[in-house]
Structure 1
Amino acid sequence: MKRSDFFYDLPPSLIAQHPLAQRSDSRLLCLDGSSGAIEHSYFHSLLNYLRPNDLLVFNNTRVIPARLWGQKETGGRLEILIERLTGIDTALAHIRSSKSPKPGSRILLSAEQGAEPGPFSLEVIDRVGALFALRTPEGQPLSEVLQVIGHMPLPPYIERSDEAFDQDRYQTVYAEREGAVAAPTAGLHFSDTLLQALEQQGIRRSFVTLHVAAGTFQPVRAEQIEDHHMHAEYLEVDAEVCEAVAQTRERGGRVIAVGTTAVRALETASAETGLPQPYCGDTDIFIYPGYDFKAVDALVTNFHLPESTLLMLVSAFAGREAIMAAYSEAIEQSYRFFSYGDAMFITAAKHAAVKEEMRS
């Protein structure tokens, strides 16, 4: 399939720049992947679309304050976005500057953009493709530096600086394991109150960990989407999740992934046997139309960028035509898009129908 098959025209005014006052007040577009039928609702009414034997699978990664400002020893200003932590005192990062820093050079860090450097610094130890390997001096934990002067890494389509409220709102209420540099945004709609209501209704939950990397915003440049090289992200699926999925199948319930990261986690863990198996390591799974889903029956997700790998994933799940029609409807109804925007609840299309769509 072509990249252009996943293009849609989005008015900039529909890109959410701030979260709503209450997490679960977001709108919810419900799409039946088999029929293409659409319903409009609100996220606090998600219970109306769930059943007592269903299992919700969440991603419990926690976003680190991964954006840093600083300057080279020669004075040139730069911006750092951590891609992933690789050790206690090391990381791979993107660096934006007029001239790339060289291995062996030192970066003097600032608390704010344009501010004078403070006591913290980083050494450039290597160049790894488009990324830079960085290290703190004398083994100082990098996480400590980030907690003091790091900024929340808001996506590029949020055209403002991070503010104090982003430290809470660009984080799920169940975030636990630090390591992501972008939020698993479908989970941002869940409040503690809604989670309690789900539990009272017998909706079970499990957690995977997938540390979302900055590569999630990497555009697809290949015209044939099969030629796209997917970035890698760290993933853990434990035995407890695998057992919960198996029990859900036995009860006749549905496995519902909260976010595309949970989909990628479960499908990676199911790749070898068709059922989730414990998994620990990197995943670079790329899901696009024609993929045969093994673990996931329904999906809670936000709206995704045109021509993005995430839009291709949901198109594989519900069918490209159904997804593009739903997005057109969402635009017409002035839904809010992307990280701080509204959500969708999607049930899977019959895979045979999706494959027939590809052939036609």
Structure 2
Amino acid sequence: MKRYDYPIVKTLLDTDAYKLHMQQAIFYNYKNVDVVAEFLCRGDNFLGCYSHVLLEQISMMRSLSLSHEEYIYMTSFPFFKKEYLHWLKKFRYNISQVKINNYQGQLHIRISGLWQEVILWEVPILALISEVFHSNFSPEISTISAIQYLDSKLKKFFRYTKNIDLSRLKIVDFGTRRRFSYDVQYAIVKRLKEKFPFLIGSSNYHISRILNLSPVGTQAHEWFQAHQQISSNLKKSQILALKTWLSHYGNHLSIALTDSITMDAFLHDFNLFFTSSYQGIRHDSGDPVKWGEKAIKHYEESGIDPRTKTLLFSDNLNFKKIISLYKRFNNKINLVFGIGTKLTCDIPYVKPLNIVIKLVKCNGKPVAKISDSPGKTFCLDKKFLKNLCKVFNVS
């Protein structure tokens, strides 16, 4: 097994933008909230053998901190507040929050502590697992082969879209969590920026900074999950999550995620005030065409011109799916496409890992995610899941 005498994650900003955006909202609204998150491998991979390497890498992360240059960069965004950035500059990873072990070949990871601290663990740990696995399983793969395959995909893309007006096409790199490696992600995003005029940003703050791209991201499922126990009324938990986010960020970062308790339950709570105030919504599970049609219908029934709003698609996209969805919805509504694993871990003879880290508890009580794709629903407490389904009328 390959050993590392250097840190794979080299900067605090090598993470997804929505983690920092959520962290700031938590910092100002939920400083004393405790959470527990756990790792899940949805595939049949036995990853427990990498536990010692992961522990070594996580131990190295304790020295990460925001550099002066990075701090100055963060102050350039209008939605970050000084008090939070001062706190973030002093932030250090607390490695005692992470417990890792190998149980009969399966990798077990449990992260617990204050939400405002725990929130930054997920993305780098998933990226570490992916890179360590691939460097051992496919050590012969280089950035050159990744770029060559990307170039072949781009040739097909331009050939298939020769007669399509792509003036409104917008694509974002969402590939940090399950990348083949940091080097591959950086090389691919750099190549896209050089060759692909439709790339408008990256979810990775570090890569965005060094490549002069826009960092893109709002909130994840955990934002809505935690509110299931933060709210005094479970039925109104999504409403509280939407309201708190909007009151904190206003016109900034106003794309709402729809599938924490299914799209239908979300739209029921996405009242006229939210529908008018939020710039748009994000798709992350279920049939994207049905979801898009449902979203447009919701805007129309609310008396809002869909062309003033945005749909962000981010579920298992590749260039072929992006073309299909663009052709379907381009004339009806604004579109953004976040492409992740099929961008940064799409290499011949390489099978990406299907791994996640999800919130399982908030303030000592269970939380759940009820996805529009049955395989993505996640909860460790069946009783709570059953009650959540009943409260939100989810079958």
* TM-score after normalising by structure 1: 0.26
Query: Which protein is richer in helix relative to its size?
Result: 2
Q: Which has the higher strand share?
A: 1
